[in-house]
Amino acid sequence: MINSKETKRVSFTDTLFFLCGPDMELCCPEEKKKENTGYKAKEAAVMKFTKMQGIGNDYVYVNCFQETVEDPSEAARKVSDRHFGIGSDGLILIKPSENADFEMEMYNADGSQGAMCGNGIRCVAKYVYDYGLTDKTRISVDTKSGIKYLDLTVKNGRVAQVKVNMGKPEFYTENIPMKHKKEKVIREPLAVDQQVYEVTAVSMGNPHAVVFMDDVKGLDIKEIGPYFEKHQAFPEGVNTEFVRVLDEKTVEMRVWERGSGETLACGTGACAVAAACVMNGYTEEEVTVKLLGGDLKIFWDRKENTIYMTGPAEVVFDGTIEL
């Protein structure tokens, strides 16, 4: 009978020696290797994040003053997955900048890097103020499409609304970029998937194709969106806005974003739509753009040739995830 008090604990290696004898290394070479090299299983990297949204355009935000993301493209694909990840339209890194108060580095849901996100930059402004990275209500943020300037409206110690200087709209096709025989494409025909659409091309630091139509709610955007996104006329791909003009001060739109598909909102897209509306004579310079996730106020100051976007930003939740 075995006395439990006298029982000796034996290691897995001792057990293998008992079973295999002197030939233990041949019996289980991996265990011998682990014992000799001090092998340890690789620990998963844990990343702190904040999920935020601007009228439904949701991203995962990471404070890179504290966190390091080794592979942002892979991280973006993982966190964006709405079944196996956090669920978002992409990943945005908030980083130190030598040229501005902060830098915003954004990645789409497919891992591709984007140049600019209007809804995303409003959330960056809310994050840096609400989480104590700044106490200023006017900040600058460096992006891949240049430095943007933001005015923060604070209520009860939290940012409720952000006005963004989005810069000037660009209509020259070579700068969008778009392959076309004309210098500017203002409601010009474009064949897409065996159908002809009238397109207005504009860049807000990223390329947009604006299509005016009588009905956007019944549009099969998942069918036609990818054909626009990968169209040969746009060598870098394109975001496509499908727009219905309601009156001189109001339009509604749906958007298919390159790298993310249909999203509830697109800030740069709303700015591109406002500029396209004015260029086509459909609306005034100040317009409310109604998106699936909510409304944005867009004003194109023609004297300054600058577009201003105003809208909300909200925190959804904080958390951690293994990468």
Catalytic pick among 20, 64, 266, 277? 266
pLDDT digits (tens, 9 = 90+) for 259-274: 999 999 999 999 999 9
pLDDT digits (tens, 9 = 90+) for 102-161: 999 999 999 999 999 999 999 999 999 999 999 999 999 999 999 999 999 999 999 999
Query: Does CATH place domain 173-304 in 3.10.310.10?
Result: yes
Q: How confident is the model at residue 277 (pLDDT cuts 50, 70, 90)?
A: very high
Q: Please, are residues 270 and 264 in contact by the beta-carbon 8 Å criterion?
A: no
Contacts of 117 by beta carbon, 8 Å cutoff, 6+ apart: 57, 59, 90, 92, 104, 106, 266, 267, 268
Task: Classify residue 37 as exposed, middle or buried by CB count within 10 Å of its CB (0-12, 13-18, 19+).
Answer: exposed
Q: Please, are residues 93 and 116 in contact by the beta-carbon 8 Å criterion?
A: no
Catalytic pick among 20, 27, 64, 117? 117
pLDDT cut 70: percent of the chain above it:
87
Q: How confident is the model at residue 24 (pLDDT cuts 50, 70, 90)?
A: very low
Q: What pLDDT is recorded for position 2?
A: 40
Q: What pLDDT is recorded for position 79?
A: 98
Q: What would the two tokens of residue 301 be?
A: 């100051």
Tally the residues of the chain. Answer: 323
Total Cβ atoms within 10 A of residue 237: 16
Domain with CATH 3.10.310.10 in the chain: 46-163+314-322, 173-304
Residue 150 to residue 162: CA distance in whole angstroms: 7
Q: Considering only CA atoms, which of 170, 162, 64, 71 is closest in space to residue 122?
A: 162
Q: Is residue 3 predicted with pLDDT exceeding 70?
A: no
Q: Please, are residues 287 and 274 in contact by the beta-carbon 8 Å criterion?
A: yes
Residue 258 to residue 269: CA distance in whole angstroms: 11
Q: What pLDDT is recorded for position 38?
A: 53
Report how far apart, in Å, the C-alpha atoms of 2 and of each of 7, 87, 96, 221 are: 7, 56, 65, 74
Q: How confident is the model at residue 95 (pLDDT cuts 50, 70, 90)?
A: very high
Query: Does CATH place domain 46-163+314-322 in 1.20.1560.10?
Result: no
pTM score, whole prediction: 0.83
pLDDT digits (tens, 9 = 90+) for 176-235: 999 999 999 999 999 999 999 999 999 999 999 999 999 999 999 999 999 999 999 999
- Give catalytic status of residue 117 as yes or no: yes
